[in-house]
Structure 1
Amino acid sequence: MSHHLALFWIMLRAALLSTTGTGNLPIVHQDLLSRGWATDRQFAEALAIGQISPGPTGLWVISLAYFVGGLRGAALTLIAIALPPLLVLVLVHG
């Protein structure tokens, strides 16, 4: 499995198993550190970016994905974290 596809599945799983903001931090932290794709420093930097950026605090995960997988990783992560709520909206409001 390619690095970017694996990153997508990690982020999708995190989005499905958490609520919002930093709720998915433990899942993402464990998965990315165990693979050696990210460091604690990158996590701290991504969290700082997410906290100072206007808008949802979940932006930290996109920043982290950019550190790990570049622009493609960030784009795939955006899709992965937006997909679960989008599917719920489609199912509820048909």
Structure 2
Amino acid sequence: MNKKLIRPTDEEDALITAAALSDADALPLTDSEWNAVKASAKRGPGRPIGSGSKAQVTLRLDLEVIQALKATGSGWQTRANEVLRKWAHHQ
């Protein structure tokens, strides 16, 4: 099935916008309200947002260390990075 987006004409868009604005219970968010919503929104599952300053490396660790990290569940690599970062800041 070929799905194509049918955009409203400028006239139709103006009528839709006017109808939406006339509903006092459904007014659009102001810029400050929208920014507050975006700031409090939580990400869904998946990879955490990267810092943009990470590099991929190969690191050999004892098997028991890897097993202990993996036993803490999903996100173990991020937690390992946090431990190493704290160590580096204290040196």
Structure showing greater relative contact order (alpha-carbon pairs closer than 8 Å, 6 or more residues apart) = 1
TM-score, with normalisation over the residues of structure 1?
0.29
More helix, by proportion: 1
Q: Which has the larger radius of gyration?
A: 2
